[in-house]
A and B are shown apart, each in its own frame.
Chain A
Amino acid sequence: MANQTLLATSAFLHWKPVKALNFTVEPRETLTMASFAAAKGKKDALAAAIRAAYGADLPKGSGRVEGNGIAFVWAGPDQWLAIAERKDGRDLESELKAALSGIASVVDQSDGRVVVRISGSDARAILAKGIPVDLDARAFKPGNVAITHASHIGVILWQIDDKPTYEVALFRSYVDSFAHWLLDSAAEYGV
C-alpha cells in the first residue's frame, strides 16, 4: 500500500448528468489548466511568445481564443486562463512555465477550478436566473468572456457556439451549490 499512487476524486461526485431536450449540463473532468499573468513590461513579449508557441493571439480584453489544443480565456487585466485536455500527461503549468519563462508568472489551476459545459436552446433563460450579464445573441457571442457571478458564486463564463453552448469555470468547492442553483433554475424547463 505504502506508495501506491492516489486516485483522483471527481469534483462532481454528487452530480447527475442532465440531458434534457433543450438543455444539457456536462462537467469537463479531464482538463489541465493554468493561469498566467504578464510580468511588468512584458505584455508584448508575452503576446509574441504565445503567438510563436501556439499560433494564437491573446485577447487583450475580454475574450477567448484557441491555439494548439489550448483555449486561452481572458481572466482579468493582463491575466489569462489556459485550458487543455489532460491527455498524454499534458500539464499546462509546466508547459507554460517553460514557454513563458521570465515573461509571465504561471500558476497551476487544474484543481482549483472546474469547468461545466452548458448547452441548449433553454440555456439562456436558465442562466438568466442567476447570471446578471446579457447573454442575448446580440450582446454575447461565441468567443466572448464574462467574469461575473452565478447566484453569488464567482464564475468565468464564455460562449463556445450558437446552439448556444457555454462553459462556466468556478472554484471547486462551490460545485454542489452551483449544481443546486442550476437544477433549481432548470426545473421550470422540465429538467
Chain B
Amino acid sequence: MATPGQGSGTGSQPNRLETGGLVDRSRIVRFTFDGKTYTGHPGDTLASALIANGVSLTGRSFKYHRPRGILSAGSEEPNALVELREGARREPNTRATVAEVFDGLVARSQNRWPSLDFDVMAVNSLLSPIFVAGFYYKTFMWPSALWEKLYEPAIRRAAGLGRASDEADPDTYDKATAFADVLVIGGGTAGLAAALAAARTNARVILVDENATLGGRGVDDGADINGNPAHEWVRTVEAELSSAPNVRILRRTTAFGTYDGGTYGAVERVSDHLAVAAQGVPRQRLWRIVAKETVLASGATERPVVFGGNDRPGVMLAGAVRTYINRFGVLPGRRAVVFTNNDYGASTVAALKRAGAEVVALVDSRAQISDEVKRIASEAGARLLLGAVVTGTLGKKRVTGVTIHTRTGEEERLDCDLVAMSGGWNPNIQLTTHLGSKPTWNDKLLCFLPGTLPHGMSLAGAVAGDFTLGKTLVGGTSAGSAAVTAAGYAAVSVPVPKAADESDAVAPLWRVKSPNGKAFVDQQNDVTESDIELAEREGFRAVEHLKRYTTLGMATDQGRTANVNALAIMAEITGRTIPQTGITVARPPYTPVSLGTLAGHHREKHFKPTRLPPSYRWAKENGCVFVETGLWLRPSYFPRPGEKDWLETVKREVTTVRNAVGICDVSTLGKVDLQGADTAAFLDRIYMNGLKTLPIGKCRYGGMLREDGILMDDGTVARLGENHYFITTTTANAVKVVQHMEYCAQWLWPELDVQIVSATEQWAQYAVAGPKSRELLQKIVDPAFDITDAGFPYLGVGEITVCGGIKARLFRLSFSGERAYEIGVPARYGDALMRRLAEAGKEFGACAYGTEALGVMRIEKGHISGPELNGTTTPRDVGLGGMVSTKKDFIGHVLGKRPGLVDPERPALIGFRPLDRSQRLRSGAHFLKRDAQATAENDEGYMTSVAYSPSNGHWVGLGLLKRGPERIGEIVRAYDPVRGGDTLVEVVSPVFVDPEGVRVRG
C-alpha cells in the first residue's frame, strides 16, 4: 500500500506517495512559489507539485478575494491561476493545473495584496451585499463623469487578474499548416483507439492532445486494459503510433476551434514546459489543421456541486483527486469526505483508500445506491451517508471540516481536510458547437450531448456520452475505422481492447438547499447561486441575459465548470426543464490563446512583407529617408550634410529639378502589359477617355472609374504596338487595377482577345526631370536612338537600348511640369543605372529626389494624386471632366452621369494660396465663406493637398471647393479646428508653375 511519506527520491514533499504515478521520480526539479523554494519531479504540473508540498492556497478570488486552491487537474481550472516566470517572460493567468514544472520555474499567486496569506481586499467578502450580480451596472451608474477618474481605476486596481509583463516578449512564435486524412482530437483511451484504427490503414493521421502525456481519464483513474494497468496499454499504442511514418502526434496541443471545411485551429505549447525555449525553437506554434475526417475524443469535464463554501481550498473535483493520486502520485488530503450524486464516488473512495488516506464518509445525495458502491465504502471504512448532502465547509484558508444535512434532517459536522465532490460529467462538446450546432439534453446522463455534427466530424468516448472505460475503447475503435473509411481507405480490422465498464449511474443534484455560506457556481468570476436567484427576480431569465447580468461563464475558463450548473439552477428556480431554460453554445477558443501565437512571425517590422525597389541599396548609401507606400519602401528625400530639416532638403530637390535635372525612382508604379487583338477595345471600356486612337509609339494620361462613376485610379497608357499596350497605375492601386482588369476580361467581356500580365517588377523605372534631362539622357542612350525633340517629342514612347545594348523603354512623360522622361531598364540593372545617372548628372548639377519633392511639384502643377483620388471624387470634381468620353461605353459611364455626380454645386478642384503669404496651409482644413460661421451647413469643401512651393516662395494648396473654378480671386477661410488653424486663403488657378505648359514640351 502506498503511503505518503518522506522516503527516498521525494525530497521533502510531504504529500508525495511512496509509489505510483507516472512522474519521473529519479529526477528532482526545483521551483519557487511566492518566493519559497519547493521540489517536484519531471511530469508534475505546478498544481501536482504544490499538492505534493502541501501547498493548498494558490490565489485569491476575483471579486471577493476569497482564498482559493486547486479545484481540478485540467484545463477547466477556474481558481488556481498563477503568474509564471519573471521579467519579459512573465505571464499572468496561467492555470497551475496544466503548467508543467521545470527546474527554475518561478511562479506567483495573483490577485492578492500585499500577500497571499494576508489580503487587504478580502474585506470585499464582508461587503459582499454590494458586490452582487449587476453591481457594476447599479453602483457605478451615476454620475457618469466619475467613471473615468474614480470608478474604473479603483475597480481595475481591486479586481485585476495577473499582471502582464511590460517588456517586449523575447520568445518567438510560429505558425504552420498540416493536412490529415483523419484528425483525432484528444489522446485519451477513446482517441488512442481511434487513432490506432485509422493509422493501421496507412492513412495520414494527426493526433492532438492538450496534455504532456497521453492516456486521459483511463490513466487518471488507474484502471486496467486487457488485464494490465491502462498506462501500459497507452504506452504500447503510443509506441506504435510514434513509429508510424503516417502519424503525427502533437502533445501539449489544444485544438481550440472548429472552422468550415474541416479546418481546425490548435495551439502547440512547444516550449512552455522549459525555462527558456531552445535556440531557434518557438515558444508556441499555431496550427491550422485541414482534415478530411475528424474524430472528436475530447472527453468530459466533471461538475462541481454547488454548496456553501464549495470554493474553499481543499474542496476538489473527485476526478481530480483520482488524477493526483494515480497520475502524479500525490495525495491531496489525509482525511477525506467524498460528496457525490453518482457511482464514481466509489472509485474515488477506493483510490483514496489505496493511497493511504482516511475516508471519513461517502456522502451521496441519492437514497438508494448499488450494493457494489456500498461494499467499496465499507471496505474503505468510510461512513455511508445516503440521501445526505454537504451544506458547508469549515476552516479558513483550508477546509477543516464539513457540515452535513442528513437524510433525516439532522445537522452533523465531520472533520476532514479534503472534500472530493462530483456532480456528474459534462462532455466537452465545445468544438461541436463552434459552427452553430445546438447540443441536446440527455435526461439519463444528465448532460448536454453534441447535436448535428460539423461535416466530417464524428465522436468517440466521453464526449459522446460513453463515460465508461470499456465503452471508450469500443467507441474509439469503431469511430477511427469509420472515419478512415470515409476518408477513402479500406478499413483494417483492429481488435478492441478489453476493459470493464464501471457504473455511471447518476441522479440530479445541482445545488444544496439552504447552503451554509456562499455557494459558488462560477468560481473564477465569483458568481454564487444567490446571484442567479437575484438575476431571476430581476427578470434576467434567458441564459444569455443571465450570463451578461451576472458575468457567469465569461471569465477566461468560459465557465467550463459553471455553465450547466447555472442553467440547471435557473431551470429549478423557474420551474422549467433545462432544455427549456437554454443551452450552452461555445465560441472559439476552447482555451485561451495568447496574442503572440496568433501573430506568429508577423510582428514589429515583419508584421507584413516589405518590398524594396531596385535601387534601394544606392538610395541607402546616399542617406535616403524612406517612406512606406503600401508594402513598398520608397525614397522620400535625400538629406545632405548641413541641411537643417526635411523642408530644406525638399526645397533643394525641387529647385534642382526646376533649374537643372533630378532623378527619381518610380519603379513602384504598377505596370501592366496588355496584348491581344482586342486590347484597344478592352482598354476603351476600362478607361474613361478614348484610347483606340492612341498612335503606336505614343502615350496618354488615362483615368478609370468605378461602375458608380467615382474615380478609381489614374496613370499612363503607352501603345507599343498595334495590339500591345503598357499601362502604369499608382503604386497603391497596382494590385487592385490588375484584379479589376481580370474581372473585366474574364467575367464582363470574356469574348475579347486580351492577355493581361503584371510587369511591375520587371522594370526598374526612373523619372529624369528638368530642363537638362535630355542632355543627361543623351549620356546613356545609345547613339542609334534619336531623342531630340523632333525625333522624340512630348508623350513619345520608344523601345531603345542604353549603355551599349541594354534594352530599355523610354517615355516622355512629366509629373513635375518640366521637360521629363521616364526610362525603364530590366530590374537587375536598376541600381547600376541609378548610379550611372547620378554620376553622369554631376556636370549638370543633378540630384536624386524622392516622393516629397515629387509631391511638391505635382501640387505646383495642379496634378491630382492620392488625396484627390480619395474614393469620393468624380472626374469633373478634379478638373478632368473634359477627358470623359461621351461616345463609348466604359465602366462608370452611365452612373457617372447621375444628377448628384454632375451637380455644379459639388466641390471641385481649385488652387489656394494664403492671403498672408507667410502663413502655412494645412490639408484637411475645411472651406468657409470669409464671414461665415464655422458650422457644418456652411462647409464648402476641404483642402486636399498642400506644399511649400519653392518656385513661388510660399505655401500653395489644392482643394475641393463648391463651384471652385468659378470663384478665382475670392477670399475664403481655411478652417482647421483640429489643429487650431483658421487661415484666409485666396482662390487661384491650381497651376502654380508654368501655367501655359511650355516647359514640358521643351
B631 to chain A, nearest CB (A): 8
B193 to chain A, nearest CB (A): 24
Q: Which of A53-61, A64-72, A107-115 contacts B (4 or more CB under 8 A)?
A: A107-115
A40, B753: Cβ atoms closer than 8 Å: yes
Given A40-B676, A108-B826: A6 and B601 within 8 A (CB)? Answer: no
Q: Which residue of A105, A113, A175 contacts B675 across the interface (Cβ within 8 Å)?
A: A105
A5 to B807, CA, bound (A): 11
Chain B residues within 8 Å of A125, by CB: 176
A35 to B762, CA, bound (A): 11
B177, A132: Cβ atoms closer than 8 Å: yes
Q: Which residue of A37, A79, A107 contacts B759 across the interface (Cβ within 8 Å)?
A: A107
B757, A37: Cβ atoms closer than 8 Å: yes
A171 to B762, CA, bound (A): 9
A173 to chain B, nearest CB (A): 4
A4, B804: Cβ atoms closer than 8 Å: yes
A128, B282: Cβ atoms closer than 8 Å: no
B780, A3: Cβ atoms closer than 8 Å: yes
A37, B755: Cβ atoms closer than 8 Å: yes
A39, B177: Cβ atoms closer than 8 Å: no
Chain B residues within 8 Å of A5, by CB: 803-806
Given A6-B836, A105-B755: A173 and B782 within 8 A (CB)? Answer: no
Number of A interface residues, CB 8 Å?
59
Query: Which parts of B590-635 form the interface with A (CB within 8 Å)?
Result: 601-602, 606, 608-614, 617, 632
A9, B673: Cβ atoms closer than 8 Å: no
A141 to B172, CA, bound (A): 32
Chain B residues within 8 Å of A175, by CB: 612
A9 to B833, CA, bound (A): 10
Q: Which residue of B172, B282, B753, B828 contacts A11 across the interface (Cβ within 8 Å)?
A: B828
Q: Which residue of B176, B804, B830, B833 contacts A129 across the interface (Cβ within 8 Å)?
A: B176
A130 to B601, CA, bound (A): 9
B353 to chain A, nearest CB (A): 47
Given A39-B676, A132-B177: A6 and B803 within 8 A (CB)? Answer: yes
- Check: B280 CB closer than 8 A to any chain A CB: yes
Q: Which residue of B lies closest to A131 (CB)?
A: B177
- Check: B179 CB closer than 8 A to any chain A CB: yes
- Known pairs A3-B804, A41-B753, A136-B204 / 18 extra A-B pairs, C-beta < 8 Å: A1-B839, A5-B805, A6-B829, A8-B832, A39-B755, A40-B753, A105-B755, A111-B762, A111-B828, A112-B758, A125-B176, A131-B177, A138-B204, A139-B179, A173-B761, A177-B606, A188-B280, A190-B280
A152 to B177, CA, bound (A): 14
Chain B residues within 8 Å of A107, by CB: 673, 675, 757, 759, 762
Query: Which parts of B774-818 form the interface with A (CB within 8 Å)?
Result: 779-780, 782, 802-806
- Check: A95 CB closer than 8 A to any chain B CB: no
A152, B288: Cβ atoms closer than 8 Å: no
- Check: B281 CB closer than 8 A to any chain A CB: yes
A108 to B763, CA, bound (A): 10
Q: Which residue of A lies closest to B611 (CB)?
A: A173
- Check: A151 CB closer than 8 A to any chain B CB: yes
Given A6-B833, A9-B829, A134-B179: A180 and B760 within 8 A (CB)? Answer: no
Q: 24 A-B contacts, Cβ less than 8 Å apart?
A: A5-B806, A6-B825, A6-B836, A8-B828, A8-B829, A9-B614, A9-B617, A9-B829, A11-B828, A40-B753, A105-B755, A111-B826, A113-B761, A131-B177, A132-B288, A134-B179, A136-B204, A151-B602, A173-B612, A174-B609, A177-B611, A180-B606, A187-B279, A191-B280
A6 to B831, CA, bound (A): 9
Query: Which parts of A135-191 form the interface with B (CB within 8 Å)?
Result: 136, 138-139, 151-153, 171-178, 180-181, 184-185, 187-191
- Check: B827 CB closer than 8 A to any chain A CB: yes
Q: Which residue of A128, A171, A173 contacts B176 across the interface (Cβ within 8 Å)?
A: A128
- Check: A2 CB closer than 8 A to any chain B CB: yes
Given A9-B617, A132-B288, A136-B204: A172 and B761 within 8 A (CB)? Answer: yes
Given A3-B780, A107-B757: A177 and B829 within 8 A (CB)? Answer: no
A109 to B614, CA, bound (A): 15
A40 to B764, CA, bound (A): 31
B201 to chain A, nearest CB (A): 13
Number of B interface residues, CB 8 Å?
63
Q: Which residue of A7, A134, A191 contacts B832 across the interface (Cβ within 8 Å)?
A: A7
Q: Which residue of A lies closest to B807 (CB)?
A: A108
A91 to B871, CA, bound (A): 42
Give per-residue flags for B694-723: 1 if the beta carbon is below 8 A from chain A beta carbons, else 0.
000000000000000000000000000000
A84 to chain B, nearest CB (A): 16
- Check: A98 CB closer than 8 A to any chain B CB: no
Query: Which parts of B266-292 form the interface with A (CB within 8 Å)?
Result: 279-282, 288, 290
- Check: B141 CB closer than 8 A to any chain A CB: no
- Sort A-B residue pairs by CB-CB distance and give the 8 closest, nearest first: A187-B280, A105-B675, A40-B753, A112-B762, A173-B611, A177-B609, A111-B827, A6-B832
B620 to chain A, nearest CB (A): 11
Given A6-B836, A40-B677, A187-B280: A112 and B760 within 8 A (CB)? Answer: yes
Chain B residues within 8 Å of A113, by CB: 761
Residues of B within 8 A of A (CB): 172, 174-179, 204, 279-282, 288, 290, 601-602, 606, 608-614, 617, 632, 673, 675-678, 724, 752-753, 755, 757-764, 779-780, 782, 802-806, 825-833, 836, 839-840
B752 to chain A, nearest CB (A): 8
A187 to B179, CA, bound (A): 22
B827, A184: Cβ atoms closer than 8 Å: no
A35 to B760, CA, bound (A): 14
A9 to B612, CA, bound (A): 13
Chain A residues within 8 Å of B782, by CB: 3
A171, B826: Cβ atoms closer than 8 Å: no
Chain B residues within 8 Å of A13, by CB: 617
Interface centre among A107, A108, A184 (most CB of B within 10 A): A107
Q: Which residue of A lies closest to B806 (CB)?
A: A6
Q: Which residue of A lies closest to B668 (CB)?
A: A173
Given A4-B804, A139-B179, A188-B280: A39 and B609 within 8 A (CB)? Answer: no
Query: Which parts of A1-39 form the interface with B (CB within 8 Å)?
Result: 1-11, 13, 35, 37-39
A11 to B827, CA, bound (A): 9
A41 to B676, CA, bound (A): 11
Interface centre among A113, A125, A128, A173 (most CB of B within 10 A): A173
Q: Which residue of B lies closest to A108 (CB)?
A: B762
Q: Which residue of A lies closest to B782 (CB)?
A: A3
B757, A35: Cβ atoms closer than 8 Å: yes
Chain B residues within 8 Å of A133, by CB: 177
A191 to chain B, nearest CB (A): 8
A106 to B394, CA, bound (A): 86
Q: Which residue of A9, A110, A185 contacts B830 across the interface (Cβ within 8 Å)?
A: A9
A134 to chain B, nearest CB (A): 4
Q: Which residue of B lies closest to A93 (CB)?
A: B807
Given A6-B836, A37-B755, A177-B606: A185 and B827 within 8 A (CB)? Answer: no
Chain A residues within 8 Å of B825, by CB: 6
A175 to B612, CA, bound (A): 8
Chain A residues within 8 Å of B282, by CB: 188
A110 to B175, CA, bound (A): 32
A181, B601: Cβ atoms closer than 8 Å: yes
Chain A residues within 8 Å of B779, by CB: 2-3
A165 to B833, CA, bound (A): 35
B843 to chain A, nearest CB (A): 11
B435 to chain A, nearest CB (A): 20
Chain A residues within 8 Å of B827, by CB: 11, 111-112, 172
Q: Which residue of A lies closest to B724 (CB)?
A: A105
B371 to chain A, nearest CB (A): 55
Q: Which residue of B lies closest to A13 (CB)?
A: B617
A58 to chain B, nearest CB (A): 15
Interface centre among A111, A113, A125, A174 (most CB of B within 10 A): A111
Chain A residues within 8 Å of B611, by CB: 171, 173-174, 177
B749 to chain A, nearest CB (A): 11
B997 to chain A, nearest CB (A): 32
Q: Which residue of B281, B617, B632, B806 contacts A173 across the interface (Cβ within 8 Å)?
A: B632
